[in-house]
Chain A
């Protein structure tokens, strides 16, 4: 029997060849990653890098982190076989249930790790950006638990479409600051968090919510999320007697995807599929598919794929899913794409919403719209894989979060009114 505590610790403590000591992911064509940030932040980035490196080998940190994941966050998360959906597509679809974590998504893994680091670094205040609000909720939760002040920056557009999560953050004692500049979504929330941090780094920890940003964030966020893939790998072996044929995840900045992929990278037979938000379709220009529809550049401190115009100005991304509505992607995904180890494909809004509804109706699970992109991708590749392999493929899907927060969006999308006011068209009195 596996000891879940040991599994959590070894998932975090594992060493990786990438990034190199300078925080880069080198490929033949581009040097991804790095640190494109003002000098004013170099001191705190160094302080953070040191704290992170120490934590990787510190048994006391390992125990604290494992305690929180086991007894607070509800790890290990289940691997649920989606029998009804599987029968429909001729594949074994296994769902990694990050939606069952405390606060409802994979984000809590990373946040608990970073909040512990913040405490160790002596910071009293934590700031975060959030898109869907899941990272903000997780940060507000960790701050409440560990006694840190918390400010969350959120695009004004996102505060509207994810109103439930705004209420949750405020209930947890965090200050939520709507950001009404630029595209009013995740990228602008990151800009605003950086503006805060450069003036407050003495006392303030910036808990970045995805595997992007300057070194050490891409590596550190990955390591805190890595337990997802380590557990899923073991659970698949236990359930099926073999490795999966493919693992699938949605890719916004890339934290749930790299958390799922990383343990499988050495398993060459396992295909790694990242599904980006295709919005209204990549051809329409209204999407958030940074790898499929973007080019190499620098945004938010890292060199990666991003959506940009001919002069390197960031282009606005579009997606029905707030959590995927980001015009860049973490540098390790750029690396996996450039080296051919990972496959990245877009899933548009309509495909994602079909999968969203299908999971609700066939399995009784309401996924986050972000996660529905991963599921939609899995349903798309299932017949291709079955044909290629000549047998029923085993596909693991990272169900990165639950969909409570998305009820308004789903109601509007499907044109239904879920809230019964007594009379269907009547407004409030």
Chain B
């Protein structure tokens, strides 16, 4: 069992949802992003998604685009991202990489999975890869015991949910809304409905992301999902606090607020 599966299993035994925080590696710098991710773990994140900054983030809203742009402008590379994942794994949290498909394919699927495993990483989220296109990736991740996370969406049919969930190893990522990343005032009913539909198809954990930014939203989701995923809100804290120390403090505080929300919501199950 890899770290990701371990973390999810422990949380399930405690009857609580996990908190998953996202930050692009290399923003504001590679070391700065590592400091911020460590603070997210200290604040209460169980799992960190280390974002691989990409030139064409067609599924990201303006906040993550801005961060990825800055990270790329500073020359952040795939080995930097893997190094950041290793630093997260050293804290004891589960370290995942979130990446658009081309950087992984171009690096070499086997090389990517094996290098991530070597630094203690335990999973990869691929938002623009569907299982039908994932043959070699499934092979590589199985070989290196790296969790695979594909997404389901409110528009997914029952057949596609079943097919997608069956290809995941770790958890299923339920996109709460139809749209790109970015904080939203309301996460809405679509997420709850999607989690229910996904749970009918799989025994794997189902985690909800897209749009979540506050402790109250985290509580609402933790009442029915196995995990709460927060991205843009963390990035926003770093964008708003140009002083690196204040930025790190701000993400730690947000993680604590969200972790409290997750625990509160989990009790209401």
Interface residues of A (CB under 8 A from B): 22, 34-44, 181-182, 187-188, 190-191, 194-195, 198-199, 201-202, 297-301, 308, 310-314
Interface residues of B (CB under 8 A from A): 54-59, 61, 65, 69, 72, 77-78, 101-107, 127-130, 132-133, 150-157, 160, 164, 175, 177-180
- Grouping DSSP codes into helix (H, G, I), strand (E, B) and loop, the B interface class, with mixed when no group exceeds half, is loop
Which residue of B56, B77, B133, B177 is within 8 Å of A311 (Cβ)? B77
Query: Nearest-CB distance from A213 to chain B (Å)?
Result: 11
Known: A42-B130, A195-B179. 9 other contacts (CB 8 A): A36-B130, A39-B175, A43-B155, A190-B58, A199-B178, A297-B106, A299-B56, A311-B106, A314-B102
Q: A195-B61, A311-B103 are in contact. Are A187 and B56 (CB under 8 A)?
A: yes
Residue ID in chain B nearest A312 by CB atoms = B106
- Grouping DSSP codes into helix (H, G, I), strand (E, B) and loop, the A interface class, with mixed when no group exceeds half, is mixed
Q: A35-B130, A313-B72, A313-B103 are in contact. Are A194 and B152 (CB under 8 A)?
A: no
Residue ID in chain B nearest A301 by CB atoms = B128
Cα distance A37–B58 when bound, in Å? 9
A191 touches B56 (CB 8 A): yes
Name the B residues within 8 Å of A312 (CB-CB): 78, 102-107
A298 touches B150 (CB 8 A): no
A299 touches B130 (CB 8 A): no
B156 touches A39 (CB 8 A): yes
Query: Nearest-CB distance from A423 to chain B (Å)?
Result: 45
Q: Can you list 11 A-B contacts with CB-CB less than 8 angstroms, sorted by A residue number?
A: A36-B130, A39-B160, A194-B58, A198-B180, A199-B179, A199-B180, A300-B56, A300-B58, A308-B106, A312-B105, A314-B55
A39 touches B105 (CB 8 A): no
Which residue of A37, A297, A300, A310 is within 8 Å of B130 (Cβ)? A37
Cα distance A199–B181 when bound, in Å? 11
Name the B residues within 8 Å of A34 (CB-CB): 133
A191 touches B102 (CB 8 A): no
Query: Nearest-CB distance from A16 to chain B (Å)?
Result: 21
B61 touches A39 (CB 8 A): no
Residue ID in chain A nearest B52 by CB atoms = A311
Name the A residues within 8 Å of B152 (CB-CB): 39
B54 touches A313 (CB 8 A): yes
A36 touches B101 (CB 8 A): yes
Residue ID in chain A nearest B59 by CB atoms = A38
Of A190, A194, A297, A298, chain B has the most CB atoms within 10 Å of the CB of A298
Query: Nearest-CB distance from A374 to chain B (Å)?
Result: 28
A182 touches B55 (CB 8 A): yes
Q: A38-B153, A39-B150, A40-B178 are in contact. Are A198 and B59 (CB under 8 A)?
A: yes
Residue ID in chain A nearest B54 by CB atoms = A313
Cα distance A193–B193 when bound, in Å? 27
Name the B residues within 8 Å of A44 (CB-CB): 155
Cα distance A348–B127 when bound, in Å? 37
Name the A residues within 8 Å of B107 (CB-CB): 311-312
Name the A residues within 8 Å of B175 (CB-CB): 38-40
A39 touches B78 (CB 8 A): no
Cα distance A41–B153 when bound, in Å? 9
B153 touches A39 (CB 8 A): yes
Name the A residues within 8 Å of B58 (CB-CB): 190-191, 194-195, 300
B129 touches A314 (CB 8 A): no
Name the A residues within 8 Å of B154 (CB-CB): 40
Query: Nearest-CB distance from A109 to chain B (Å)?
Result: 26
Query: Nearest-CB distance from A373 to chain B (Å)?
Result: 25
Name the B residues within 8 Å of A298 (CB-CB): 101-102, 105
B133 touches A42 (CB 8 A): no
Query: Nearest-CB distance from A27 to chain B (Å)?
Result: 16
Name the B residues within 8 Å of A314 (CB-CB): 55-56, 102
Which residue of B55, B77, B132 is within 8 Å of A35 (Cβ)? B132
Query: Nearest-CB distance from B28 to chain A (Å)?
Result: 19
Residue ID in chain B nearest A44 by CB atoms = B155
Query: Nearest-CB distance from B117 to chain A (Å)?
Result: 19
Name the B residues within 8 Å of A38 (CB-CB): 59, 127-128, 151, 153, 175
Residue ID in chain A nearest B57 by CB atoms = A191
Q: A40-B175, A43-B157 are in contact. Are A313 and B55 (CB under 8 A)?
A: yes
Query: Nearest-CB distance from B88 to chain A (Å)?
Result: 20
Residue ID in chain A nearest B154 by CB atoms = A40
Which residue of B72, B101, B103, B180 is within 8 Å of A195 (Cβ)? B180
